[in-house]
Chain A
């Protein structure tokens, strides 16, 4: 009997903690999401990544810290001098962990495609053939999971732009996607408040694709 009540109490506590916001976690996340926006150096990037990894470790039921850690690992490849393949491999490991926590998540799926795109960019001539369909499939899946996800559209527009350049075809497809993405970013901005923890990045990249259209 005693055992049963303990189990019940534990189960209740678990459900309670899962449904109830954890202010310590939210505060810590908020601090790092803010810090993330002002990263200038590899050291800063590493410090924020590490903070997200600590939160991922302490809160194994949350996908967001893993997502941001993967995002920072991936952007570090484009911004800083690092062992690029190693960073992307680790980003992929983090994305795969996040996927297990939150199944069929549009943001995570788009992030996975972003990592694959990073892999392609390191050696497009030989990786493009096998990895491009994989990246496109992931972006397509991310879009179908959430039609309002601007990042999925933006990343697909970047991919389209790259392929149009490679095949010498027109930029219409990339431009259309980028314009739609920008519209979705504006919609997203309306929702964003100080407490907003979900991903908001990528508008500048969408604009970059759109700017090449005129």
Chain B
């Protein structure tokens, strides 16, 4: 007979024979050998057990016998199991020590370069709600981020400019999948907006540098927006604004939701009432349709679909210096579609898998005087990632990505055309290692290959964070970043190679329940930027070789507790940036990188008026430009930029919001640069025209109504 069988039969017999109780006692300690009270100690599969007292001691009796498993478990600690033979007498166990469990809530996070807008975390820089309630933003995601440290407001452009980088250096993602042409196509000096509605997203992650190996093809910044999960109820949302109207219908049950929405926009009636600086033939107009669906899957996991299609256009006269009359007529038509789907599932064994695909299509038809240009851009992004959590102390994220990209542009009248087809592949891996709850190290590597540029590269990234006090964290991030030049440059010279940047960031973050203070200093170097002859609109002789740097610091302070019903934040960013790029042969301060940037946002809730009143103020010290009447590049600077915006949101009922906002209340005559004649006049001087705002101010009034048609509508209709 096998010895195991003998033992087994012995235990089986002993179990039936022994009636005697066993008394178990012992102590439970934490890793530092301090007593641990409240630990649940019990015989597995029975009701017998007890909790440890203040001294970490426990004692209980059990009628179980034979070989049993003793479990020690406690919230926030890793459970332990101990095999024990219960023989009907007192057993005094040696001390057991439990290891603290590391989770997102009790460990330090790396905050260098990153800012998060989320409802789930207790203290964040920005909340999703702030995006719709920041007066200067007018409901544009990008407008809200322009009040955060590290950004510059370029009022005649509207896109996001981060730390001396141009707008193309910001990579925009939805659920981890790239969005191409995420800004509306616009004419020169008419500011644009992000196409996507902020209400689609439950949270946003904004990085001003040193970001994760998950993201690439962005020299300055990654903006990752995460869509909402399954909607909780069916509802209808209606909006009527001074510039358009919208309708949205959501159907939801416990596991699934789908929402369809449509908007129309036309500034014609508005422009008839409010004086404009530009001479419009046809005011900006357009429509969009959007579908978002979410489904919880039977075996766990979630599947999401997002699709959007839109069309728009505008026509206006652009004044030219030295030419009398209206100037040049510019007509613009845009068609855009974006679709993506993604699947995510967390498995009990610590793995989380993600798979997704996105497709962006953009077509612009532009006529400039007698020239007609037709541009088309298509981008497909496929991505798969796997995250493995090893015991909460080490976690790894790895992924593979593939991009298929094509771009074509043609001159309609002369039937001349040019295009390129590109394929890019990426592999990345990133490891987080928690040495303690207060210290985390992160290392990552991202490798890529471009077929068109025939180039392979690898970018190492590293960061660490250390919790220096109860609420304070110090973190450091460094990394290398590659990005291929913009499409209209690559189509002229497909051999253009990646531009490259190196980031070094030091961050201090102090967060308490109501106050956030953040200070960051950075250094960024640029190499192999694209250089050209002529100007970026009609470039020639494109090559790599431009270089430069950006350095500076920024501070952010947000206070939600000192003044009752009031929430405010103050931001100051200093950027010292110089680069040789585009037509600039020497290193100059780019026109999109003002040195001093300051902004304040204040929101005050007045319960008696059922209103939230908001104000935001932005300031920078002016934009550089080249005055050909003097020698040198970027030899001049405009006067300072100022914008005070006010808003009022009135909630007469919880489902009805009346919102009004005015930007540039003071009517500051902001100037973003000057256009000069190509050749000097008889007296030898170049005539100029200032680049002004499209209108002194912008006013929007809107009514937003939510109707809930839930099964429990009688109970819920007051939401």
Instruction: Give the interface of A toward B (CB within 8 A).
Output: 24-25, 28, 42-43, 46-47, 50-51, 53-55, 57-58, 83, 85-87, 89-90, 122-123, 125-127, 129-134, 136-137, 139-141, 143-144, 156, 160, 163, 167-169, 173
Asked, given contacts A54-B49, A87-B75, whether A43 binds B40 with beta carbons under 8 Å apart, the answer is: no
Give 5 nearest A-B pairs by CB, closest first: A140-B712, A50-B40, A46-B38, A47-B51, A50-B51
Option from B106, B129, B202, B710 in Cβ contact (under 8 Å) with A86? B106
Please measure, in the bound complex, the distance between the C-alpha atom of A129 and the C-alpha atom of B706, giving whole angstroms: 13
Does the CB pair B44–A129 fall under 8 Å? no
Option from A53, A86, A136 in Cβ contact (under 8 Å) with B40? A53
User: What's the least CB distance linking B76 to chain A, in Å?
Assistant: 6
Q: Is B541 an interface residue (CB 8 A)?
A: no
Please measure, in the bound complex, the distance between the C-alpha atom of A173 and the C-alpha atom of B718, giving whole angstroms: 9
Option from A85, A125, A169, A173 in Cβ contact (under 8 Å) with B560? A125
Does the CB pair A89–B122 fall under 8 Å? no
Does the CB pair A86–B105 fall under 8 Å? yes
Please measure, in the bound complex, the distance between the C-alpha atom of A85 and the C-alpha atom of B123, giving whole angstroms: 13
Q: Place the interface of chain B in its size category.
A: 35 or more
Does the CB pair B122–A58 fall under 8 Å? no
Does the CB pair A50–B654 fall under 8 Å? no
User: What's the least CB distance linking A176 to chain B, in Å?
Assistant: 11
Please measure, in the bound complex, the distance between the C-alpha atom of A33 and the C-alpha atom of B76, giving whole angstroms: 25
User: What's the least CB distance linking B317 to chain A, in Å?
Assistant: 44
Does the CB pair A85–B232 fall under 8 Å? no
19 contacts between A and B (CB under 8 A): A43-B51, A46-B38, A47-B38, A50-B38, A50-B42, A54-B48, A54-B49, A57-B44, A58-B45, A85-B105, A87-B75, A136-B719, A140-B711, A140-B712, A140-B716, A156-B715, A167-B651, A168-B607, A168-B608
User: What's the least CB distance linking A112 to chain B, in Å?
Assistant: 12
User: What's the least CB distance linking B513 to chain A, in Å?
Assistant: 8
Please measure, in the bound complex, the distance between the C-alpha atom of A83 and the C-alpha atom of B104, giving whole angstroms: 13
Please measure, in the bound complex, the distance between the C-alpha atom of A129 and the C-alpha atom of B719, giving whole angstroms: 10
Asked, given contacts A140-B716, A167-B654, whether A51 binds B49 with beta carbons under 8 Å apart, the answer is: yes
Does the CB pair A133–B233 fall under 8 Å? yes
Q: Is B119 an interface residue (CB 8 A)?
A: yes
Q: Which residues of A contact B166 (CB under 8 A)?
A: none
Does the CB pair B76–A86 fall under 8 Å? yes
Does the CB pair A43–B37 fall under 8 Å? yes
Does the CB pair B51–A46 fall under 8 Å? yes
Q: Which residues of A contact B54 (CB under 8 A)?
A: 43
User: What's the least CB distance linking A191 to chain B, in Å?
Assistant: 25
Does the CB pair A144–B711 fall under 8 Å? yes
Please measure, in the bound complex, the distance between the C-alpha atom of A63 and the C-alpha atom of B508, giving whole angstroms: 46
Please measure, in the bound complex, the distance between the C-alpha atom of A58 and the C-alpha atom of B127, giving whole angstroms: 43
Q: Which residues of A contact B202 (CB under 8 A)?
A: 130
Does the CB pair A25–B47 fall under 8 Å? yes
Residue of A nearest to B47 (CB): A28
Residue of A nearest to B41 (CB): A50
Please measure, in the bound complex, the distance between the C-alpha atom of A127 and the C-alpha atom of B608, giving whole angstroms: 22
Asked, given contacts A54-B47, A89-B105, A140-B716, whether A168 binds B610 with beta carbons under 8 Å apart, the answer is: yes
Q: Which residues of B contact A89 (CB under 8 A)?
A: 105
Residue of B nearest to A84 (CB): B122
Does the CB pair A169–B654 fall under 8 Å? yes
Q: Is B46 an interface residue (CB 8 A)?
A: yes
Please measure, in the bound complex, the distance between the C-alpha atom of A51 and the C-alpha atom of B44, giving whole angstroms: 12
Does the CB pair A132–B719 fall under 8 Å? yes
Interface string of B28-66 (1 = CB under 8 A from A): 000000000110101011111111011000000000000
Please measure, in the bound complex, the distance between the C-alpha atom of A129 and the C-alpha atom of B651, giving whole angstroms: 14
Please measure, in the bound complex, the distance between the C-alpha atom of A156 and the C-alpha atom of B719, giving whole angstroms: 12
Counting chain A CB atoms within 10 Å of each CB, which of B75, B232, B651, B654 scores highest?
B75
Asked, given contacts A86-B105, A87-B75, A136-B716, whether A58 binds B608 with beta carbons under 8 Å apart, the answer is: no
Does the CB pair A90–B44 fall under 8 Å? no
Residue of A nearest to B44 (CB): A57
Please measure, in the bound complex, the distance between the C-alpha atom of A138 and the C-alpha atom of B66, giving whole angstroms: 46
User: What's the least CB distance linking A156 to chain B, in Å?
Assistant: 7
Q: Which residues of B contact A167 (CB under 8 A)?
A: 610, 651, 653-654
User: What's the least CB distance linking B710 to chain A, in Å?
Assistant: 7
Q: Which residues of B contact A86 (CB under 8 A)?
A: 75-76, 105-106
Q: Which residues of A contact B75 (CB under 8 A)?
A: 86-87, 90
Interface residues of B in 82-136 (CB under 8 A from A): 105-106, 119, 122, 127-129
Does the CB pair A136–B715 fall under 8 Å? yes
Does the CB pair A130–B119 fall under 8 Å? yes
Does the CB pair A43–B53 fall under 8 Å? yes
Does the CB pair A126–B105 fall under 8 Å? no
Please measure, in the bound complex, the distance between the C-alpha atom of A18 and the C-alpha atom of B479, giving whole angstroms: 60
Does the CB pair B610–A24 fall under 8 Å? no
Please measure, in the bound complex, the distance between the C-alpha atom of A83 and the C-alpha atom of B54, giving whole angstroms: 18
Q: Which residues of A contact B51 (CB under 8 A)?
A: 43, 46-47, 50-51
Option from B42, B106, B651 in Cβ contact (under 8 Å) with A57? B42
Please measure, in the bound complex, the distance between the C-alpha atom of A85 and the C-alpha atom of B338, giving whole angstroms: 37
User: What's the least CB distance linking A150 to chain B, in Å?
Assistant: 15
Does the CB pair A123–B49 fall under 8 Å? no
Residue of B nearest to A137 (CB): B232
Q: Which residues of B contact A46 (CB under 8 A)?
A: 37-38, 51
User: What's the least CB distance linking A173 to chain B, in Å?
Assistant: 6
User: What's the least CB distance linking A96 to chain B, in Å?
Assistant: 11
Option from A42, A57, A87, A134 in Cβ contact (under 8 Å) with B232? A134
User: What's the least CB distance linking B131 to chain A, in Å?
Assistant: 12
Please measure, in the bound complex, the distance between the C-alpha atom of A42 and the C-alpha atom of B44, giving whole angstroms: 25
Does the CB pair A50–B119 fall under 8 Å? no
